[in-house]
Structure 1
Amino acid sequence: MAVRHGIAALMALGITFGLFYLMQYLISMGSERGADIRKGQVIEFVRLKRDTETQTRKRELPKKEKPPEPPPPPELQMSQTDAPDSDAMAISAPDLSAGPDLGSGPNMGAPSDSDSVPLVRVPPQYPIRAAERGIEGWVVLRFTITAAGTVVNPEVLDANPKRIFDRAAKRALKKWKYRPRIVDGVAIDRVEEVKLSFDLDDI
């Protein structure tokens, strides 16, 4: 038993010394590596001197050369045969002294005569009282057609029944338009007569 304890103690001492040696070796290796890392972080800055002197270059422009002068135009010589002959170019103008005889033909500008022609006829308005009572009738009027084609001076010549349709007939007649009568190319006044009927069927 004593021998076994002695061998175990020797082995324990050997292992202990081996561990101490290994730890010392590792510590020494770590310190050397840290020193190398610290040395590698040192950076040296070197400032270079800047050359302040600059060189200037002068740019020379090329000289312009004068363009060559154009040659003078050739002289053209015209012979007498090239010039046009004034006698040959003369053209005889027609004689306009004798114009056409216009007096022998018929006179187309003579004025023509024409009678008055109605252009606008406005029908009379049926009186309300006559329509309500069922009254019908007629009116004969005399009036004047002026040279301008208007109607003036309407006058009642006869009516049936009396004084029922006179005002409506005159009012409508004043709105009529005519082409006036022409005598010797001049418009003149003309007096005419007309009969206006008032029928309930026309309402």
Structure 2
Amino acid sequence: MRFLVAFLGAPIITCALLLFMAGLINQKVNQFQTQHENPYFDLVLSNQDESFESRTRKKPTPPEPQTQENVQVTQVQQTRVSSPDMSMTLELPSLDLSSNVSAMAISMPGIESMQQPNSALTGETMAMPLYRVEPKYPRKALRLGKQGHVLLSFDVNESGRVVNINVLEAQPPRLFERAAKRALKKWKYKPMLVNGKAVSQRGQKIRLDFKMEP
């Protein structure tokens, strides 16, 4: 009997609970919609009598033009103020360059001495150089303070170039020979003409002196 009553009452109680829950849900939904409805605004424009002050911008009065006398006075004053005394005296140390230059002075025979007859050439004259290069003073000789000379023999070919250079004498030995030969090799001589034809000139000699001026 108890089971029968429980079996019949359970569906009734379940339906009642479902209806109760549905009613609660509908009530919450209605409240939410009511709270979130678009509010109604009643706008009323009221005419307010307000007095606005109108401001008118006034142009600034231009400055009075200066007269010619005033302009000249101001210009003179400006020039007098902006011209300070900028005179300065610079004292530069005097550089003694003569010592370095004089140490490189090299004496060579002049043109007159090279035109002297050569006894070894049976009366032929020395060749005339058209272009010559001064030999460089060796650094070792400058450092040691040495002076000397080099006597060279050479030939001049048909084109006027120096060939077959030989050292005949050098004082002091093995100090100035290389500088003398390098310089003489770059010399250019006037070719010798025989019957209108250039010929070589052999047995030429020259002495190059290396001296340091005091």
Alignment TM-score > 0.5, same fold: no
Higher percent of residues as helix: 2
TM-score when normalising by structure 2: 0.40
- Higher CA-based Rg: 1
